[in-house]
Amino acid sequence: MNQTEKQTKFRFVIFSSIVVIAMINYIDRGAISYAAADITAEYNLDRAAWGAVLGYFGYGYMFGALIGGALGDRFGAKLVWLIAGIAWSVFEIATAYAGDFGMAALGGSALAGFAVVRVLFGFSEGPAYSIINKTVGNWATPRERGFAVSIGLLSTPLGALLTAPMSVGLLLLTGSWRAMFWILGITGLVALLAFMRIFTNRPEDNPRVNAAELAEIRSGTSVSDAPSTSIGRQDADVPWWMFFTSRTMVFNTIGYFAFIYVNFMLLTWTPKYLQDQFHFNLASLWYLGMIPWTGPCLTVLLGGRFSDWLLKRTGNLRIARSWFAALTLLLTTLVFLGVSQATSPAAVIALMTLGNSLNALVNTVYWTVVIDTAPREHLGAWSGFMHFFANIGSVLAPTLAGILASTYGYQAMFIATAVATGIGMAAMLLVSPGVLPVRRGAVPR
């Protein structure tokens, strides 16, 4: 290698492109919330039925996340990105006709039509974040993993932030909630094809990555993708199924469940809550719906940086990951209890923003714990397992919120959210990143 060769930085182009694709993914899933008034009126759906419509997405999303990671390990991230991206864009467009499909073909039930389309749509979107983790595991240097994961996860709050102006803008501009789904679906297809032109599964295969950058990426790992070492990690032969015997993986998944619960509750119910509780109209929601997501766009990046800084300062993965997450989840719990007691729109929105910002601060931790701990050959599968079980929250949050709002009022919806984050806090105290279970009879190398 030429010692004077200037190192390329193409991995950051890959990370930035992931943000764009995943951001579109997030806008696509959240747009339906802003069409709530039009859809519920057209098909005569009450709060509980609307909660079911929002929750159907999660059933498919769970299973898409589960198999997406495993398929990424088997066939490479690029193929999974391509197939999943095309599918979710097609089903985004199909959402425009879900109710009519149910009325015509499923016994006159618009709800059944939404169930079919939303489950398939969720299944198509499910692989995205497992494949992001697989991609980061292949492209990031060991010391920048936390920050690299946070760049990918920036798509969550950024997508949610832009969902409000994009959705409301398209609704007002076209005057049609069906046109909104068409435009979003086509945009996703165009962006995906552009990404496929520059992406490769590994930096070794990309002509835009020079030898200096490749050496930086592979510092501390082998080119053969053998399991990397981490502080406190046992280097052992670990089959994929030992995810389920790992205390760290199980409790990290429960912690991530808390994040998912908060995220989907706010993403799906904020527009209708503000309309019902404070009588805001659609024209107001384009900016009010953005506010709770402004803080998370910053904190998701700060969380990755701060976790990496803690690791550098202490040399202790448990402090840098699990203790940091547990303390933040405690604060998140207290804030959502405060939301349940607030009565003015200004106080509610301010507390929702603070709680959501704290929740996003440690989003990076859950995914980084998997990278810290999983054998590299099972990184996609273990990411998928975590995503699958944690995404019970993507079903439970919107569905339970609808039931609680109908039965007890919106206050109960926020109390349930605080309970979820409290459970997550307790779980993260039991996480020991980098420590793999040793198979019975195996001798650590």
Q: Is 441 among the domain residues?
A: no
Lookup: tokens for 442 = 């195996």
Please provide the DSSP assignment of 359-421 as one string.
Answer: HHHTHHHHHHHHHHHS-GGGHHHHHHHHHHHHTHHHHHHHHHHHHHHHHT-HHHHHHHHHHHH
* pLDDT at residue 435, as a whole number: 78
Q: At 299, which CATH number?
A: 1.20.1250.20
Q: Is 1 among the domain residues?
A: no
Whole domain around residue 251: which residue ranges? 10-428
Q: Is 17 among the domain residues?
A: yes
Query: Taking residues 157-184, what's their average pLDDT?
Result: 93
Q: Is 303 among the domain residues?
A: yes
* pLDDT at residue 4, as a whole number: 58
Q: Is 443 among the domain residues?
A: no
Mean pLDDT, rounded, of the chain: 88
Residue 353 CA to residue 294 CA, distance in Å, equals: 7
Please provide the DSSP assignment of 23-73 as one string.
Answer: HHHHHHHHGGGGGHHHHHHHHT--HHHHHHHHHHHHHHHHHHHHHHHHHHH
Q: Is 2 among the domain residues?
A: no
Residue 168 CA to residue 289 CA, distance in Å, equals: 10
The larger pLDDT score, comparing residue 136 to residue 117, is at: 117
Nearest to 255 by CA among 322, 302, 318: 322
Residue 437 banded pLDDT, cuts 50, 70, 90:
low
Burial of 41 (0-12, 13-18, 19+ CB in 10 A): exposed
Q: Are 317 and 232 in contact (CB under 8 A)?
A: yes
For 327-381, the pLDDT digits (tens) are 999 999 999 999 999 999 999 999 999 999 999 999 989 988 998 888 877 887 8
Query: Taking residues 133-162, what's their average pLDDT?
Result: 81
Percent of the chain with pLDDT strictly greater than 70: 92
Query: Taking residues 308-330, what's their average pLDDT?
Result: 93
* pLDDT at residue 440, as a whole number: 53
Q: Tell me which of 227-236, 286-295, 435-444 is least confident.
A: 227-236
* pLDDT at residue 3, as a whole number: 52
Q: Does residue 231 carry a pLDDT above 50?
A: no
Please provide the DSSP assignment of 172-200 as one string.
Answer: HHHS-HHHHHHHHHHHHHHHHHHHHTT--
Residue 240 banded pLDDT, cuts 50, 70, 90:
confident
Residue 65 banded pLDDT, cuts 50, 70, 90:
confident
* pLDDT at residue 229, as a whole number: 37
Query: Taking residues 226-234, what's their average pLDDT?
Result: 39
Q: Does residue 227 carry a pLDDT above 60?
A: no
Residue 326 CA to residue 423 CA, distance in Å, equals: 10
Phi-psi sector, 76: left (phi>0), alpha (psi -120 to 50), beta? left
Q: Is 306 among the domain residues?
A: yes
Query: Taking residues 69-82, what's their average pLDDT?
Result: 89
* pLDDT at residue 222, as a whole number: 39
Residue 99 CA to residue 41 CA, distance in Å, equals: 12
Number of domains in the chain: 1
Q: Which residues of 294-327 are buried (b: 16+ CB within 10 A; e: fewer)?
A: ebbbebbbbbbebbbebbeeeebbbebbbbbbbe
- Any idea how long the chain is? 445
Q: Give the distance, in angstroms, between the CA of residue 146 and the centroid of all CA atoms in the same chain.
A: 15
Percent of the chain with pLDDT strictly greater than 90: 56
Lookup: tokens for 102 = 């149910």
Most confident of 138-147, 171-180, 361-370: 171-180
Q: Is 433 among the domain residues?
A: no
Lookup: tokens for 80 = 């999974």
Residue 368 CA to residue 149 CA, distance in Å, equals: 7
